[in-house]
Amino acid sequence: MRLGIFGGTFNPIHFGHLRAAEEVRLAVGLDEVLFVPSHIPPHKELAGGSTARQRLETVKLAIGGNPHFRLSSFEVEQGGSSYSIRTIEHVRASYGITPYFILGRDAFNEISTWHRAGELFGLANFVATSRPGSPAFVLGDVLGGLAADFRADGAGYVHTSGNRILFTEVTALDISSSLVRALCRSGKSITYLVPREVEEYIKEEGMYA
Ligand code: ATP
Ligand code: MG
């Protein structure tokens, strides 16, 4: 069983998230992708005044009908600051497997600042996707001293644990949650940036207005 974990604030979820997850699922051969909205993200203020319940609902609406995508409320239920390493440990303990943690290059570039960064690569594989505005990177620049634990191979990098860092080019969709929130705030259309169900829910709830 190959399981992906896709963490994020999903404030709200948009087609950039969904398409990246789908392309990684196919490229890596994942059986399932677990979408895990964070509770309080350690690195940023939660913009737009949305609640965790609303963010969970947008993800639920967006992935409904895709048998390979599933919502996890683990981080929201845990409360407090969300740390990906806890989610990874939880998934390892629940499923008895080493998961594939999916993230965009902008997020991967900051990974050395994450909680218990030195332990992450022994616990999960990482799949870093392209994202418009985030250039390709040099492993040593991103990981600093941790890069010494990796060797390059054709598909990416292999950690001393045997886990991998993979790079996947995904269709460039220059969509961000920040853009969606800004459009809502100024009363503009978000049609075709987010699934229709998500758009309707945002309107009903008066989110980001
Ligand atoms: P915000 O603008 O609020 O930061 P965001 O669009 O960056 O929102 P996040 O919830 O911060 O969304 O991102 C969750 C994960 O999804 C991150 O790993 C991020 O790199 C990735 N991601 C978000 N948008 C895209 C996109 N358009 N293409 C590829 N990856 C994306
Ligand atoms: Mg972001």
Q: Which tens digit of pLDDT belongs to each residue from 138-151?
A: 889 999 999 999 99
For the chain, the domain total comes to 1
Is any ligand 1 atom within 6 A of the Cβ of residue 126? Answer: no
The least confident of 44-58, 79-93, 139-153 is 44-58
Which pLDDT band, with edges at 50, 70 and 90, does 155 fall under?
Answer: confident
Q: Does the pLDDT value for residue 77 go beyond 70? A: yes
Is any ligand 1 atom within 6 A of the Cβ of residue 100? Answer: no
Q: Does the pLDDT value for residue 44 go beyond 60? A: no
Backbone angles phi, psi at 32, to 5 degrees: -150, 145
Is 19 within the bounds of a domain?
Answer: yes
Pocket test for ligand 1, best of 50, 177, 179, 207 (most atoms within 8 A of CB): 177
Is 138 within the bounds of a domain?
Answer: yes
The pLDDT value given to residue 108: 96
Give all strands of the β-sheet with 156-159 in edge-to-edge order.
69-71, 32-37, 3-8, 100-104, 125-129, 164-168, 156-159, 150-153
Which pLDDT band, with edges at 50, 70 and 90, does 136 fall under?
Answer: confident
Q: Does the pLDDT value for residue 153 go beyond 70? A: yes
Is any ligand 1 atom within 6 A of the Cβ of residue 17? Answer: yes
**Domain encompassing residue 165:** 3-173
Is any ligand 1 atom within 6 A of the Cβ of residue 20? Answer: yes
Give the pTM. 0.96
Q: What is the mean pLDDT of the chain?
A: 94
Is 202 within the bounds of a domain?
Answer: no
Q: Which amino acid is at 45?
A: E
Is any ligand 1 atom within 6 A of the Cβ of residue 58? Answer: no
Q: What is the DSSP letter of 130?
A: P
CATH of the domain at 71: 3.40.50.620
- The mean pLDDT value for 152-174 works out to 95
Sign of the torsion angle spanned by Cα atoms 130, 44, 183, 208:
positive
DSSP character string of 152-186: EETTEEEETTS-EEEEE--------HHHHHHHHHT
Is 182 within the bounds of a domain?
Answer: no
Is 199 within the bounds of a domain?
Answer: no
Residue nearest to ligand 1 atom 7, measured at CA? 176
Is 104 within the bounds of a domain?
Answer: yes
Is 192 within the bounds of a domain?
Answer: no
Is 201 within the bounds of a domain?
Answer: no
Q: Does the pLDDT value for residue 20 go beyond 60? A: yes
Q: Do the beta carbons of residue 92 and residue 123 sit within 8 Å? A: yes
The pLDDT value given to residue 49: 82
25 Cα–ligand 1 center, Å: 17
The pLDDT value given to residue 48: 78
The pLDDT value given to residue 42: 55
Atom of ligand 1 nearest to the CA of 102: 18
